[in-house]
Amino acid sequence: MNTDSHWVHTPPQIATPSNKRPRVIAAVLLVVIAFCGGVVGGVIGSSTNDNSGSSNTPLVTAAPVDSSKVGNSNVAKAANVIAPSVVTIDSLTSNSESVGTGIIVTTDGEILTNNHVVEGATQVRVRLNGQTSPIMAKVLATDPGNDMALIKLNNSSGLTAATFADADSIAVGDPVVAVGYALALDGGPSVTSGIVSALNRTLEIDNGALDGLIQTDAAISSGNSGGPLINMNGQVIGINTAVATGGSSSTASNIGFAIGVAEIQRVAKLLRANASGETPDQGYLGIGVGSRTDGGAGATVTEVADNSPASRAGLKANDIVLEINGKTITGPGALIAVIRDSAPGDIINIVVERDGKRVTLKATLIARPKE
């Protein structure tokens, strides 16, 4: 089905001097204060009884708040758990300054965020929750294809690392909370709540495809990028990274996406390896892919490279790939992501539809050829 909805990264909020050109257009926040009926009819009028005076009865007030408690709701308690592990990231390039969010993952200052938060940065400054002064950070490694980056604070210790949830514990309908520095507003991070709307979504982006995404209706705004999506225990289940916007013939409301915890853990290992000087090769199958045109699920093989793992496995143009290693392929993006996330030497089982019949093929991936 063809629509003109757009799947876009939540851009970092821009806070640049007027003489600098920002990388993205800054959102404009309009705060409208409505005065209803002139302060509600001005104290709701006066009494018609001339003999009645003002009452001396005190207003009823609540009991003092127990300072040992942090909020009465599950959302408040979950947000309090993650708060020490959420940071604001200020990225500077030669002509812009942008703000995003990050998650502390080690006590000595390793932080995960989105690649698009720090992409092209010449200087990265991080402010811890509750602090007023920033700390300089170094970009250790980036993965544009998975939109993740690993940065490290200078000379830091004793920080509170976030706890990550078990990927198998996440289910559609679970309540979740998104935390981040939405619109780079003054003060602490913003907190919004919602549910897990869907699991294992895949989106195609300029650098490839994002897979293993969690869809949520929790509000995600500019500046939330790189921040945590958490469960009611304050455990990270995803990194907020993209939202859907409507087009002229479609609408999109409350559709946000977070990189799921399983992908976070996998990519974090690759980022650390890259930071240590290792450059793991990606898997290569050797096919071109496109969308199905008959309304079905799967990815259509448009071409097969000569002498490639795909040709040796027997893949043919017009085959429709339905599964790889038991994982359903919903479209081209899902297929791209599965192969990219595999390693040379991996053996994959491919289920295709060919001439109305299902055929299972086996391919051994090789390293992606250098461009």
Q: Are the beta carbons of 241 and 89 closer than 8 angstroms?
A: no
Distance CA 352, CA 315 (A): 8
- Residue 117: what are its φ and ψ, rounded to 5°? -75, -35
Q: By CB neighbour count within 10 A (0-12 exposed, 13-18 middle, 19+ buried), where does 11 fall?
A: buried
The one catalytic residue among 90, 91, 116, 222: 116
Burial annotation 57-88 (CB, 10 A radius, 16+ → b, else e): eeeeeeeeeeeeeeeeeebebbbebbbebbbb
The one catalytic residue among 91, 96, 193, 225: 225
Q: Verify whether residue 116 is a known catalytic residue.
A: yes
User: Cα dist. 74→77, 166, 263 in Å?
Assistant: 5, 19, 26
Query: How many CB atoms sit inside 10 A of residue 318's CB?
Result: 12
Distance CA 223, CA 93 (A): 17
Q: Verify whether residue 9 is a known catalytic residue.
A: no
Q: Verify whether residue 168 is a known catalytic residue.
A: no
Identity of residue 341: D
Q: Are the beta carbons of 315 and 361 closer than 8 angstroms?
A: yes
Q: By CB neighbour count within 10 A (0-12 exposed, 13-18 middle, 19+ buried), where does 272 fall?
A: middle
3-state helix, strand, coil in the chain (%, to 5): 15, 35, 45
Query: How many CB atoms sit inside 10 A of residue 188's CB?
Result: 14
The one catalytic residue among 147, 211, 319, 341: 147
Active site residues: 116, 147, 225
